[in-house]
Amino acid sequence: IDMGQRKKGGLAMDILKEFEVSYYPSGKESVELVLCFDSGSPYTFIKRSSTLRVGKLFELVEPAPFGGLGGGEFESKEIIHLYVKLLEFWCRQVAYVVEDNILEEDYHILVGHDFMQLYGIKLLPHEGDIEIDKVRLRLAQRIR
């Protein structure tokens, strides 16, 4: 389901799309979550409430500090290792878990350019969509 894009001052800011997300490489017990593709974020973040639908969290040895989202400083105390279904592939990603109020209410996961670069995702802001490079996506499944 294409959730379109949110606009701010007439400019496309975020691209929202729904994807299957699973804790398992096979995709079992997957849930539908809304992902926000944000080229301004180097990392991927997931709301704490959404992680409870996906799987188990891993506690970081020390909280990881961040800045920028939610208008200031915030931290993540856990990460989650999850899989997102892009085309026919289950693509692995580590996401930092943040309190729900850090991210906007319209989505569950803020996808950073770490994920987009790895899997060949190109943002098409004027269409409010993304383009997935199938060859790059397939090659990313192998260790080279």
For the chain, the farthest-separated pair of C-alpha atoms sits apart, in whole angstroms, at 43
Taking the chain, what is the end-to-end CA distance rounded to the nearest angstrom?
33
- For 18, 64, 75, 128, the CA distances from 59, given in Å and listed in that order, are 27, 11, 12, 35
Each residue's pLDDT, cut to its tens digit, for the chain (144 residues) gives 444 444 444 344 579 999 999 999 999 999 999 999 988 889 999 999 999 999 999 999 999 999 875 567 899 999 999 999 999 999 999 999 999 999 989 999 999 988 999 899 999 988 889 999 888 888 887 765
- Give me the residue label for tokens 């704490």: 48
pTM equals 0.87
Q: What are phi and psi of 105, to 5 degrees?
A: -75, -15
